[in-house]
A and B are shown apart, each in its own frame.
Chain A
Amino acid sequence: MSESVPGLTPEVFAPVEAPVSPPQASEEVEFVQLLTPEGERVEHPDYSFDLDDEAIKGFYRDMTLVRRIDTEATALQRQGELGLWASLLGQEAAQIGSGRALNSKDMVFPTYREHGVAFCQGVNPLNLLGLFRGVDQGAWDPRDNNFHLYTIVIGAQTLHATGYAMGQQRDHAVGDPETGEATIAYFGDGASSQGDVNEAFIYASVFNAPVVFFCQNNQWAISEPIDRQTRIPLYQRAAGFGFPGVRVDGNDVLATYAVTQQALKRAREGSGPTLVEAYTYRMGAHTTSDDPTKYRLSEDLEYWKLKDPIERVKAYLARQAGVDHNFFDEVEAEADKVAAELRQGCLAMPDPELTDFFQYAYVDMPDELAEQRDQYAAYAASFNAEGEG
């Protein structure tokens, strides 16, 4: 207990488990790290990164492309081509490391910010833009890439993921660490306060479901800082639900890969859920509708810039792995090409008929809704008439 209760005698309170530790200052956070911000490989007693430098080059490419896609999408929003964009800037390592740890049969349940994971799963980024441009409602089939639709209702996808994982269990797809299936649920630090998420923890734990709860603690839920969200480090929550939790340097792609891989392995072999807290920072605004200068200090941003997930990999590759500038130039050029294609594709997306949107809520449209659609169509037509007249 961090605080003792006066007047308590031992016979009044039976002895209980170990006390929780108080919240830690962000400067001295303990986490699993395998690559320092300076690009030095370091050892960890429980986790190791066993892939070669080619794989690390691949991660570098993934993160660079995804950042470029993200930057382009933000620019498109600023130019009025997207209604909204939720930037992943700063969270590339958390998403690429965990995304690359997935097997082809694993299932992903994302929030609205998992563009990096979508990329790993092979979802065309244009599909993501379609949603944010408002021309469709997420027009990818979750089964095509084992990547569920973006979920805006904070935390709800953790329940969907747990249910899906229980399904995998009932399909006898769990038990073998090599061939078994697992599910990964992404959510934010803010979502950790949702009852839904806690109920997902409970079900996953009680039923030993093969699910990895991957929490990107980017320190903010819109304008709400993490210290107003929880009194204890988030990964320690898991202990209260009877399963393990681990905190990883979310800006270290080697560590997020290694930690997620182990958690997935546990899930696949039937050992149940794990909570991974990827400790990272949201470098951009919450979404393009938000202005973070209203509620946070620029010096925080400076501190986190030094921990950039891509720079440290570049430093490692250039200094330790003898990768020359040609590689970096190539990736840069590829990123520009991807961005240009994305922009083109975005602008070429056909506008939907606005009345189409009434169609997607029900299989059979109720009369009231048909009435609303007709009213709306008449209202919209009244503008055309005025404009023309």
Chain B
Amino acid sequence: MTAEHLYRTVRLIRRFEERAMDFVRSGEIVGGIHPYVGQEAIAAGVCAALRPDDVITSTHRGHGHVLAKGVDPARMLAELMGRENGLNRGRGGSMHAADFGLGILGANAIVGAAGSIATGAAWAYQRQGKDVVAVSFFGDGAMNEGMLLEAFNLAVLWRVPVVFVCENNGYATTMPVRSAVAGSITGRARAFGMPAFTVDGQDPEKVLAATTAAVSRARSGRGPTFLECTTYRFDAHHTFEHRARLNYRSTEELSTGRSRDPVEIQGERLAADVRAAVDAEIEALLDAAAGVALGGAHPDPAAALEFLYASPEVNR
């Protein structure tokens, strides 16, 4: 059951992203996306370890995280297309998906910024006497943001129930991790006294096992854990890269990097007929989602200033 659940999630994310990239090409999604292709095992494994009331923060590459946390693909797709029936009424777009009801405290386009939000949220729950755990997703690039390191320090000092999930895909845009991160990624977390582990981020089951341990540590009041999930971004940093050749990864590296595909790794654990049934189910779900999204109304330009501030006066 777990195996099938994990497969369903990685497959859903993969196909969602592939379809979203088609919509970028056809112009239905304006501005492009940061595809999560290749990294699906992390979102799937991490979110499978969470309770529905646990919370996450996400990144600019965040569609996978929110889908794994339970967002309806139709509403997410509509959001990417900027429609009124989108998750955030078309105002948030790709990098700002939020649904507090599902425990999604928001994707954040500011690299590293959401770590403080997750830490603050987890701390608040702790002070309210609730046993809610927060997970913060971020990339290797975020490891060099002072803000994130401040969050590490406070989380450790105050034993905050937060799990830091670093998706090390080897690059921050075109900057290789070896030129940007002095020392090591786990060493950086340990420099603040936080237990830190490296996990195979291509295998959903390994990610699930690691996160389960980290979450139970957090929930039982023993403080934060840092998980470095090693992975590879199969596609572009951003879809603009489909048009601009940046030439920062060799063909050889790409083929090695893509050789461990999380969808295949998890798919091989299912019986062929089960896998095929899941695949068909997902295609049907995404067909329906596309229909819903494309059918959504575009927001009224006159309402562009709505939802900026709680007080309507300020918006005028």
Tell me the complex Cα distance, A236–B144, Å: 18
Best-surrounded residue of A5, A7, A232 (most CB of chain B within 10 A): A5
Tell me the complex Cα distance, A2–B222, Å: 12
Q: Which residues of B contact A13 (CB under 8 A)?
A: 197-199, 210
Q: Number of B residues contacting the other chain (C-beta, 8 Å)?
A: 41
Quick check: B209 and A239 within 8 Å, CB to CB?
no
Quick check: B156 and A239 within 8 Å, CB to CB?
no
Q: Is B72 an interface residue (CB 8 A)?
A: no
Quick check: B206 and A11 within 8 Å, CB to CB?
yes
Given known contacts A7-B209, A12-B210, is B183 in contact with A205 (CB within 8 Å)?
yes
Q: Is B173 an interface residue (CB 8 A)?
A: no
The answer, among B147, B182, B196, B206, for a CB contact under 8 Å with A16, is B196
Q: Which residues of A contact B157 (CB under 8 A)?
A: 228-231
Quick check: A17 and B209 within 8 Å, CB to CB?
no
The answer, among A19, A237, A241, for a CB contact under 8 Å with B182, is A241
Given known contacts A12-B210, A198-B149, is B191 in contact with A240 (CB within 8 Å)?
yes
Quick check: A12 and B191 within 8 Å, CB to CB?
no
Quick check: B191 and A236 within 8 Å, CB to CB?
yes
Quick check: A232 and B192 within 8 Å, CB to CB?
yes
**Separation in Å of the B176 CB from the closest CB of chain A?**
12
Given known contacts A202-B182, A239-B191, is B146 in contact with A14 (CB within 8 Å)?
no
Best-surrounded residue of B149, B181, B210, B222 (most CB of chain A within 10 A): B149
Q: Is B213 an interface residue (CB 8 A)?
A: yes
Q: Is A179 an interface residue (CB 8 A)?
A: no
Q: Which residues of B contact A205 (CB under 8 A)?
A: 182-183
Contact count band on A: 35 or more
Quick check: B146 and A198 within 8 Å, CB to CB?
yes
Tell me the complex Cα distance, A98–B150, Å: 28
Quick check: B153 and A193 within 8 Å, CB to CB?
yes
Q: Which residues of B contact A194 (CB under 8 A)?
A: 146, 150
Q: Residues 145-175 of chain B: 1 if any A CB is under 8 Å from the residue's CB, otherwise 0?
A: 1111110011011000000000000000000
Q: Is B239 an interface residue (CB 8 A)?
A: no
Tell me the complex Cα distance, A367–B195, Å: 55
Q: Is B9 an interface residue (CB 8 A)?
A: no
**Separation in Å of the B195 CB from the closest CB of chain A?**
5
Q: Is A242 an interface residue (CB 8 A)?
A: yes
Q: Is B126 an interface residue (CB 8 A)?
A: no
Residues of A within 8 A of B (CB): 1-3, 5-9, 11-14, 16-17, 19-20, 23, 193-199, 201-202, 205-206, 228-232, 236-243
Given contacts A193-B150, A202-B181, could you give 7 more A-B pairs where the C-beta distance is less than 8 Å?
A3-B195, A5-B197, A17-B190, A193-B154, A195-B149, A241-B182, A242-B187
